[in-house]
Amino acid sequence: MEGPGRPSRPGLGILGCAHVHIRDAVTLLRRRADVEVRGVWDHDGTRARRWAEELGAICVEEVEQILEDRSVCAVVVMTETDRHPEMVERAASGGKHLFVEKPLAISGAAALQAANVIESSDGLFHTGYFLRQLPALRLLRAKVLHGSLGRIVGLRGHFAHRGATDGLLDDAPWMMGRATAGYGGFGDLGVHLIDLMTWMLDEPVVEVCATLGSLAGEEDLDQYGHGMLRFAGGSVGFISAGWVEFASPITLSVSGTKGHAYVADGELVFAVEPSIHLAIPPSAKSVGAEAALETFIDAVTGKQGVQLVEPRDAARHCQILDALYQAARDGTWVGT
């Protein structure tokens, strides 16, 4: 893959094209002139050729063709979730920076093992928590950590769409398989809310409970669910997420002893004395799924002040998901 006359831009490799967000990633990579995709691999050759052609990149038959290319400094992992640990191990051992779609793995144990591998390498890491890039949520977090709302008592988050019923997942049926995805609709979208709440409070979850459901029947992988998170400091978070609801805005509210704030449709309302509507520029009221990958590329290309997700936090979120699913099965609170 290397050769004379190649551009000096940082080289990227794509390991897997299975995730529904591959189309968002490709759209982003086509407009980023400061990096070059040098190779695309997937165990499904047809899928790899499709996206390699979209990117004007080489379709490779073996992962090693990307990992042994010294001009490739970073890889984007969008395989089925059960394949993430293998890709992480191989890419990290090759000294590559890593972007891994969320969740990090299909279980907390596998995710922790992957995090250990990443932390033992010298590379950068990021995952697909694109909601962290929403200006209203970043501003809300700053207010919470500053103490503007006082002691936080409760958080409520909702993130849902009808991807399981309107064809969004047709290109990724593996996402509805327990062995390949690990988690269903509740986990797929709920992990964003877990990340936002733990990021917002900067404290751990100690206990959870949940209920899950599926329009297809109780024996199928969950399509929606609701959970409660008890934090070390006493706050309680309520999360609702799934693939079968009429499309609705991502919402997050935070209640404290001195005030209340909520984000909806990219707007932030900060209700203290007096209530304040904090204006967000129209162009910054929404972010797409590609925003997390863009943050990673910014870091790879040397942009200053970029905030990345810690590998151990991504693993911890999988452990919390495990506890939520166990709580739903047992009908009781489960410690994390």
**CATH number, domain containing residue 52:** 3.40.50.720
Beta strands per DSSP E along the chain:
11-15, 36-41, 58-59, 72-77, 97-100, 125-127, 152-160, 205-213, 224-231, 236-242, 251-256, 260-264, 267-271, 275-278, 334-335
DSSP state of 122: S
Same-domain check for residues 94 and 175:
no
Using an 8 Å Cβ cutoff, are 252 and 137 in contact?
yes
Same-domain check for residues 172 and 119:
no
Q: Strand 11-15 to strand 36-41: parallel, antiparallel, or no bridges (unpaired)?
A: parallel
Mean pLDDT across 47-61: 97
Higher-pLDDT residue of 13, 277: 13
Cα–Cα distance measured from residue 155 to residue 235, given in angstroms and rounded to the nearest whole number: 8
Residue 154 has pLDDT above 80, yes or no: yes
Same-domain check for residues 94 and 234:
no
- Neighbouring-strand partners of residue 207: 230, 335
Asked if residue 137 belongs to a domain, the reply is yes
Domain boundary, last residue among 246, 271, 287: 287
Using an 8 Å Cβ cutoff, are 336 and 228 in contact?
no
Same-domain check for residues 247 and 167:
yes
Which token pair is 195? Answer: 């990340």
Rounded to the nearest integer, the mean pLDDT of the chain is 93
| pLDDT of the residue at 165 | 87
Cα–Cα distance measured from residue 316 to residue 321, given in angstroms and rounded to the nearest whole number: 9
Using an 8 Å Cβ cutoff, are 156 and 237 in contact?
yes
Proportion of the chain above pLDDT 90, given as a percent: 83
Asked if residue 20 belongs to a domain, the reply is yes
pLDDT tens for 198-228 read 999 999 999 999 999 999 775 679 999 999 9
Same-domain check for residues 114 and 183:
no
Amino acid identity for residue 332 in this structure: T
Query: Of 15, 16, 19, which Cα lies nearest the Cα of 173?
Result: 19
Same-domain check for residues 181 and 50:
no
Neighbours of 79 (CB within 10 A): 23
Cα–Cα distance measured from residue 246 to residue 21, given in angstroms and rounded to the nearest whole number: 20
pLDDT band at 272 (very low <50, low <70, confident <90, very high): confident
Same-domain check for residues 19 and 154:
no
Mean pLDDT across 246-256: 88
Same-domain check for residues 119 and 192:
no
Does residue 54 sit in helix, strand or coil?
helix
Find the domain containing 246 and state its range: 130-287
174 φ/ψ angles, rounded to the nearest 5 degrees: -60, -25
Domain boundary, last residue among 94, 127, 160: 127
309 φ/ψ angles, rounded to the nearest 5 degrees: -80, 135
Q: Strand 275-278 to strand 267-271: parallel, antiparallel, or no bridges (unpaired)?
A: antiparallel
Cα–Cα distance measured from residue 113 to residue 108, given in angstroms and rounded to the nearest whole number: 9
Proportion of the chain above pLDDT 70, given as a percent: 93
Same-domain check for residues 64 and 185:
no
Cα–Cα distance measured from residue 294 to residue 328, given in angstroms and rounded to the nearest whole number: 35
Same-domain check for residues 75 and 153:
no
Cα–Cα distance measured from residue 44 to residue 51, given in angstroms and rounded to the nearest whole number: 11
R_g over Cα of the chain: 20
